[in-house]
């Protein structure tokens, strides 16, 4: 019997920054292990849930460098979401978030669109690469997870696990949390809030900050009015959580993202509310944002509301109406029934 | 019994809490961090995902669906008020270390600046007893306290060329064991063949936070032999239990 890798995608093009991510590598933070995981968990979970996957199943995280795959072996159900990337199946446009059935030999391509820095491509069943320390998440700096601990590249084969159940119709995902959100990013002040004078805090929360090109999966460095730490910009190391806003010696905010280290030695003015971390992650260099303070309880309420909405993501599925390209018509069984070569019907 | 000052409870977003016992590097503060970590682990409180002990604080990552911040703080404060648990037994590790060229690139520089011979600097570094305060920076990257005062030397003004994994680094009165190659503002006094992090070994990480470390001097040929053995994952450094209660 031949046992081919019958369920897989072949990478045809991978721009910089494409990695495999699951929900993250947890349980080893105390040993200095970076959690990794998706930059925009809302988009990541949405793509998985649209396929009936576990919300944290491994998916491809695509950056603005774009990505293209071809279906090898059996046809696959796929879903994608995040930002307003431009998606095409064999050259025909698709919505920025959708689930589709990709047939053998068909290509699916993504490139950066009007907004957004990260999109997710999930497969029904989940991508089935080896689990390292309980996770498939890629952390390139320590070479863990994904494929050989590195970014994806042309020629990689992405195996897909057998799905428990598959969808029965192609659909666009019109979820409100995937839209661009320009509200001020919510921030819970602390834990080194007392390192910053009321004036320094007022300046931070009253100003616009521009994302610099120094923005990657580890940290986003912003530029704007300087924030001085009244007790100095070094502290004895303590723990660091997702979204920590560090103020190092250059007095410019540095927000720690998915590939953060679990500890750090700069004072932290606050933490970006987890409900808004995806909005922040979707910024591109030169784009601006503002921050506003909220309590931990307000941030918690916002997170629970967002998570509940994402859990009901499939209420936002709308059957996909595809543009009738010539190629699709020729491939279609309908061709003998209605055929309007001059487009006059 | 003198009552220790109450810790500070500080929010790190809505999903993490910092319990801070002080602002400096001090074994007594670190002991309280580890005591709370042990108490939390024993209490097995639902919704606590994982904890990160550091020099002076414990970070608690938790599920905000299970815990509003204030309720978690109240639950932790009750643990703090309960009689302290005796800490688990710690271990004392004997880590082989080579202080000879080419494994000790900066030892001559540091020794001459401190008015010591290279052999004396190596002896001072090897015979001290260190405490594992925390991991940080990268998987298996160890921050140690207990460097002898005679080896206190400020950091470099500019980082040096990358050091290899296993580098024994000192600066600013602290000691590190590097687990991955990295450029650094610290000085490389020696190198150990022991892998502090091996994802396919059981255990993945050798040392617990709070463990004790000392070094055993080895020559270049022993270093190469042990490196091969460590590569084949059939070598573990010697360790014994330390009973603090005695």
pLDDT, tens digit, 9 for 90 and up, residues A233-248: 778 888 999 999 999 8
In this structure, the answer to whether residues A244 and A298 fall within a common structural domain is yes
In this structure, the answer to whether residues A246 and A272 fall within a common structural domain is yes
In this structure, the answer to whether residues A170 and A109 fall within a common structural domain is yes
In this structure, the answer to whether residues A157 and A191 fall within a common structural domain is no
Is residue A120 classed as helix, strand or coil in its secondary structure? strand
So what's the pLDDT on residue A336?
Answer: 40
Give how far the C-alpha of residue A114 lies from the chain's centroid of Cα atoms, to the nearest Å: 16
In this structure, the answer to whether residues A136 and A248 fall within a common structural domain is no
- Alpha-carbon gap, residue B53 to B34, rounded angstroms: 7
| Cβ–Cβ gap A31/B140 under 8 Å | yes
Residue in A26, A34, A188 nearest the CB of B13: A188
**Best residue of A146, A191, A266 to probe chain B, by most B CBs closer than 10 Å:** A191
In this structure, the answer to whether residues A73 and A147 fall within a common structural domain is yes
C-alpha Rg value of chain B to the nearest Å: 20
Q: Output the CA angle A99-A105-A111, nearest 5 degrees.
A: 55
Judging contacts by C-beta atoms under 8 Å, the chain A residues touching residue B135 are 30-32, 263
Strand boundaries in chain B, DSSP class E: 8-11, 16-20, 48-53, 57-62, 90-98, 130-135, 142-145, 160-163, 167-171, 174-177, 182-184, 187-191, 212-218, 238-242
Q: Scan for tokens 């978690």, then name that residue.
A: B72
So what's the pLDDT on residue A101?
Answer: 97
Residue ranges of chain A whose pLDDT lies below 70: 1-5, 322-345
Closest by CA to A118, choosing from A134, A97, A99, is A97
In a domain, A342, yes or no: no
| Cβ–Cβ gap B15/A237 under 8 Å | no
In a domain, A343, yes or no: no
Judging contacts by C-beta atoms under 8 Å, the chain A residues touching residue B177 are none
In this structure, the answer to whether residues A194 and A175 fall within a common structural domain is no
Residue in B16, B18, B205 nearest the CB of A31: B205
In this structure, the answer to whether residues A120 and A236 fall within a common structural domain is no
| Cβ–Cβ gap A296/B135 under 8 Å | no
- Supply the range of the domain harboring residue A150: 7-179+314-331
Closest by CA to A217, choosing from A15, A23, A17, A25, is A17
Closest by CA to A51, choosing from A109, A9, A98, is A98
So what's the pLDDT on residue B1?
Answer: 43
Closest by CA to B41, choosing from B210, B204, B223, is B210
So what's the pLDDT on residue A264?
Answer: 86
In the structure encoding, which two tokens stand for residue A257, read together?
Answer: 């993202």
- Provide CATH code, domain B8-81: 3.30.1360.40
In a domain, A338, yes or no: no
In a domain, A148, yes or no: yes
B99-138: string of b/e by CB count within 10 Å (b at 16+)?
bbeebbbbbebbbeeeebebeebbbbbbebebbbbbbbbb
In this structure, the answer to whether residues A147 and A220 fall within a common structural domain is no
Cβ pairs A/B, distance under 8 A: 141
Residue in A191, A235, A261 nearest the CB of B12: A191
pLDDT averages per 10-residue partition of chain B, 246 residues = 79 97 91 93 93 96 97 93 69 96 95 96 96 94 95 87 94 91 90 93 92 96 93 84 70
A278-313: pLDDT as tens digits? 999 999 999 999 999 999 999 999 999 999 999 999
| Cβ–Cβ gap B10/A188 under 8 Å | no
| Cβ–Cβ gap A239/B20 under 8 Å | no
Domain boundaries along the sequence of chain B:
8-81, 90-242
In this structure, the answer to whether residues A193 and A167 fall within a common structural domain is no
In a domain, A106, yes or no: yes
Judging contacts by C-beta atoms under 8 Å, the chain A residues touching residue B11 are 188-191, 271, 296
List residues of chain B with CB under 8 Å from any CB of chain A.
10-16, 18, 20, 23-25, 49-59, 61, 64-65, 68-70, 134-141, 143, 179-180, 197, 199, 204-205, 209
Sorted by sequence, the CB contacts under 8 Å of residue B242 that are 6+ apart come out as: B89, B90, B91, B92, B212
In this structure, the answer to whether residues A85 and A204 fall within a common structural domain is no
CATH number of the domain that residue A217 is part of: 2.40.100.10
- Identical topology for domains B8-81 and B90-242: no
In the structure encoding, which two tokens stand for residue B37, read together?
Answer: 């970590």
So what's the pLDDT on residue B174?
Answer: 87
- Alpha-carbon gap, residue B194 to B229, rounded angstroms: 9
User: A130 — contact with chain B (CB < 8 Å)?
Assistant: no
Fold observed for domain B90-242: Cyclophilin (2.40.100)
Judging contacts by C-beta atoms under 8 Å, the chain B residues touching residue A188 are 11-14
Judging contacts by C-beta atoms under 8 Å, the chain B residues touching residue A141 are 138
| Cβ–Cβ gap A188/B25 under 8 Å | no
Number of domains comprising chain A:
2
In this structure, the answer to whether residues A267 and A173 fall within a common structural domain is no
């Amino acid at each position: 019997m031949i046992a081919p890798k019958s369920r897989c995608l072949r990478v045809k093009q991978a721009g910089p920054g494409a990695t495999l991510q699951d929900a993250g590598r947890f349980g080893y933070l105390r040993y200095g292990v970076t959690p990794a995981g998706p930059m925009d968990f809302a988009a990541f979970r949405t793509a998985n849930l649209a396929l009936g996957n576990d919300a944290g199943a491994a998916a491809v995280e695509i950056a603005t460098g774009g990505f293209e795959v071809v279906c090898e072996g059996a046809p696959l159900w796929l879903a994608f979401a995040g930002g307003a990337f431009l998606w095409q199946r064999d050259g025909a446009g698709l919505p920025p978030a959708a689930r589709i059935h990709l047939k053998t030999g068909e290509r699916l391509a993504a490139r950066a669109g009007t907004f957004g820095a990260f999109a997710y491509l999930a497969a029904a069943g989940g991508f089935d690469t080896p689990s390292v320390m309980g996770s498939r998440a890629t952390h390139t700096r320590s070479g863990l997870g994904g494929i050989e601990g590195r970014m994806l590249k042309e020629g990689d084969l992405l195996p897909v696990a057998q799905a428990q159940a598959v969808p029965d119709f192609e659909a666009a995902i019109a979820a409100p949390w995937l839209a661009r959100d320009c509200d001020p990013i919510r921030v819970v002040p602390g834990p080194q809030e007392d390192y910053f004078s009321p004036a320094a805090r007022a300046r931070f929360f009253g100003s616009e900050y521009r994302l610099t090109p120094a923005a990657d999966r580890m940290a986003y460095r912003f530029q704007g009015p300087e924030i001085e730490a009244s007790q100095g910009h070094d502290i004895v190391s303590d723990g660091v959580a997702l979204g920590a806003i560090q103020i190092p010696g250059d007095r410019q905010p540095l927000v720690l993202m998915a590939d953060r280290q679990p500890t750090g030695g700069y004072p932290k003015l606050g933490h970006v509310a987890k409900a808004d971390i995806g909005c922040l992650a979707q910024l591109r260099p030169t784009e601006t944002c503002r921050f506003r303070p909220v309590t931990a309880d307000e941030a918690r309420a916002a997170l629970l509301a967002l998570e509940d909405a994402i859990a009901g993501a499939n209420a936002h599925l709308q059957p996909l109406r595809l543009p009738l390209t010539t190629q699709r018509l020729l491939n279609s069984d309908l061709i003998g029934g209605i055929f309007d070569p001059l487009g006059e019907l | 019994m003198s009552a220790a000052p109450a810790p500070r409870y500080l929010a790190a977003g809505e999903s993490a809490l910092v319990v801070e016992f002080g602002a400096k590097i001090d074994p007594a503060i670190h002991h309280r961090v580890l005591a709370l970590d042990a108490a939390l682990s024993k209490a097995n409180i639902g919704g606590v995902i994982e904890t990160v002990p550091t020099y002076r604080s414990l970070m608690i990552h938790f599920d905000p669906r299970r815990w509003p911040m204030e309720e978690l703080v109240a639950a932790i404060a009750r643990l703090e008020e309960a009689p302290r648990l005796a800490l688990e037994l710690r271990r004392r590790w004997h880590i082989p270390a080579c202080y000879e060229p080419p494994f000790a690139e900066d030892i001559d520089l540091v020794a001459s600046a401190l008015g010591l011979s290279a052999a004396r600097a190596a002896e001072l570094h090897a015979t001290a007893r260190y405490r594992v305060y925390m991991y940080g920076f990268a998987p298996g990257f160890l921050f140690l306290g207990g460097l002898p005062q005679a080896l206190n030397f400020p950091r470099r003004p500019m980082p040096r060329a990358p050091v290899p994994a296993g580098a024994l680094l000192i600066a600013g009165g602290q000691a590190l064991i590097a687990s991955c190659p990295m450029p650094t503002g610290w000085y490389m006094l020696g190198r150990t063949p022991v892998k502090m992090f091996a994802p396919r070994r059981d255990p993945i990480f050798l040392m617990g936070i709070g463990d004790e470390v000392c070094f055993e001097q080895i020559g270049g040929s022993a270093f190469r032999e042990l490196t091969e053995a460590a590569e084949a994952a059939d070598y573990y450094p010697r360790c014994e239990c330390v009973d603090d209660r005695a």
